[in-house]
């Protein structure tokens, strides 16, 4: 089906208390793996294009691949700009057909982040396209625990930021770190809870590859509706590729080497979609199944609505 906007997908996830998986469409094989997994799991999915991928492949080619593959399946697919760096880049993405944008001004002074985010939101909303913003900094590996703590999102500031910018979803810094290769991090769940009490829009978790599963599930309970996964897929792809090359050192048909790498990524996407409670949310006709009764039981409550999709 044609690409859909992130608005409807995230709103549905927000009401049904699960998270949509957002995976980076870094190359054709990974893109195919993500889509096949999401279609088999009957899960909505967000395919995103990040800065390093834009440097590697440009903006228009990944976008065209995502658009093409989305039209071949009957699940909702969103094309999202990940960590947009400027107003101009967001305009470019909008004109290229992205159905969800992001401006990451987290490294800017607070008021400057508000100013540019507001401009991007106004521009995007004039075309009916939603915008994710970031407040607090989700850092890269190599930082200290103190640096991570100091970069976390302040709940009061988040409320002011969302109200003033009009952004549609908010990436929060709550203890995760980009590009972690071990699953060791625990999120500051009290902080997620505090933010969700002051901010009504869907929250986004970046850097999930290094976060313990229980912690991700608790964050979903408190309003995280989009979970970004990148490193975990890259590890699978490169690991399987390396094994294939070692097993067949004389093989020059890279398609034969890429095939097991693609399969390995697909399995990890399926695992994440199930973990996030996204599996089974889309009916055979491509529509959202009716969300379960909204519950705000919180962590430790009787149910968080995960993995209990109902018609
Ligand atoms: Zn990120």
Whether residue 299 is predicted with pLDDT greater than 50 in this model: the reply is no
Residue 225 forms part of a structural domain: yes
pLDDT > 70: what percent of the chain? 93
pLDDT, mean of residues 17-43: 97
pLDDT-derived band at 182 (thresholds 50, 70, 90) equals confident
CATH number at residue 33: 3.20.20.70
Whether residue 114 is predicted with pLDDT greater than 70 in this model: the reply is yes
Residue 240 forms part of a structural domain: yes
Quote the ligand 1 centre to 248 CA distance (angstroms).
35
Residue 297 forms part of a structural domain: no
pLDDT of residue 185: 87
Instruction: Just list the catalytic residues.
Output: 82
Whether residue 310 is predicted with pLDDT greater than 90 in this model: the reply is no
Q: Do residues 118 and 99 touch, judged by C-beta distance below 8 A?
A: no
pLDDT digit string, tens, across residues 2-23: 999 999 999 999 999 999 999 9
Q: How many CB atoms lie within 10 A of CB 201?
A: 21
pLDDT digit string, tens, across residues 231-251: 999 999 999 999 999 999 999
pLDDT of residue 218: 96
Residue 84 forms part of a structural domain: yes
pLDDT of residue 159: 98
Quote the ligand 1 centre to 251 CA distance (angstroms).
35
Q: Which domain holds residue 269?
A: 6-275
Quote the ligand 1 centre to 170 CA distance (angstroms).
12
Whether residue 265 is predicted with pLDDT greater than 90 in this model: the reply is yes
Residue 33 forms part of a structural domain: yes
Residue 76 forms part of a structural domain: yes
Rg of the chain (C-alpha set): 19
Number of domains forming the structure of the chain: 1
pLDDT of residue 242: 98
Residue 232 forms part of a structural domain: yes
Quote the ligand 1 centre to 140 CA distance (angstroms).
9
- CA 116 vs. chain centroid, Å, equals 22
pLDDT, mean of residues 224-234: 96
- pTM score, whole prediction: 0.92
pLDDT of residue 306: 35
The four Cα atoms 162, 166, 172, 173 give a dihedral, to 10 degrees, of: -70
Question: How far apart, in whole angstroms, are the C-alpha atoms of residue 311 and residue 309?
Answer: 7
pLDDT of residue 19: 97
pLDDT digit string, tens, across residues 44-95: 999 999 999 999 999 999 999 999 999 999 999 999 999 999 999 999 999 9
Quote the ligand 1 centre to 256 CA distance (angstroms).
31
Vertex 111 angle, CA 108 and 113, to 5°:
45
pLDDT, mean of residues 16-45: 97
Q: How many CB atoms lie within 10 A of CB 204?
A: 26
pLDDT, mean of residues 258-273: 98
**Residue 140: half-sphere exposure toward Cβ, Cα within 13 Å:** 1
Q: Is 159 exposed, middle or buried (0-12, 13-18, 19+ CB in 10 A)?
A: middle
pLDDT of residue 145: 87
Quote the ligand 1 centre to 234 CA distance (angstroms).
14
> Which residues pair with residue 203 across a beta bridge?
170, 224
Per-residue three-class SS string for 183-226: CCECCCHHHHHHHHHHCCCCEEECCHHHECHHHHHHHHHCCEEE
pLDDT of residue 291: 67
Whether residue 301 is predicted with pLDDT greater than 90 in this model: the reply is no
Residue 284 forms part of a structural domain: no
- 301-304 long-range contacts (CB < 8 A, ≥24 apart) are 301/221, 304/17, 304/217, 304/220, 304/221
């Amino acid at each position: 089906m044609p690409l859909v906007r992130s608005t409807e997908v995230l709103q549905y996830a927000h009401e049904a208390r699960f998270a949509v998986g957002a995976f980076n469409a870094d190359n054709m094989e990974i893109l195919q793996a993500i889509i096949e997994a999401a279609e088999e799991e009957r899960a909505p999915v967000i395919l995103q294009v990040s800065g390093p991928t834009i440097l590697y492949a440009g903006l228009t080619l990944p976008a065209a691949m995502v658009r093409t593959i989305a039209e071949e399946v009957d699940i909702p697919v969103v094309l999202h700009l990940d960590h947009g760096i400027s107003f101009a880049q967001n305009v470019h993405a909008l004109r290229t057909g992205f159905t969800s944008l992001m401006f990451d001004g987290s490294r800017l002074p607070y008021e400057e982040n508000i100013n540019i985010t507001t401009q991007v939101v106004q521009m995007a909303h004039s075309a009916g396209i939603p915008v994710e913003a970031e407040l607090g900094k989700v850092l890269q590996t190599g930082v200290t625990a103190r640096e991570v703590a100091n970069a976390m999102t302040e709940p009061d500031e988040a409320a002011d930021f969302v109200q003033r910018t009009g952004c549609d979803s908010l990436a929060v810094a709550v203890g995760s770190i980009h590009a972690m290769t071990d699953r060791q991090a625990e999120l500051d769940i009290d902080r997620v809870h505090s933010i969700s009490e002051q901010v009504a829009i869907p929250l986004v978790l970046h850097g999930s590859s290094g976060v313990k599963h229980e912690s991700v599930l608790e964050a979903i309970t408190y309003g995280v509706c989009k979970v970004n996964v990148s490193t975990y897929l890259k590890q699978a792809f490169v690991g399987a590729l390396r094994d294939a090359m070692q097993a067949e050192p004389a093989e020059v048909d890279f398609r034969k080497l890429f095939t097991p790498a693609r399969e390995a990524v697909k399995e990890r996407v399926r695992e994440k979609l199930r973990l996030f409670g996204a599996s089974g949310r889309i009916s055979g006709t491509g529509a959202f199944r009716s969300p379960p009764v909204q519950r705000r039981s919180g962590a430790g409550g009787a149910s968080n609505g995960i993995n209990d999709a109902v018609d």
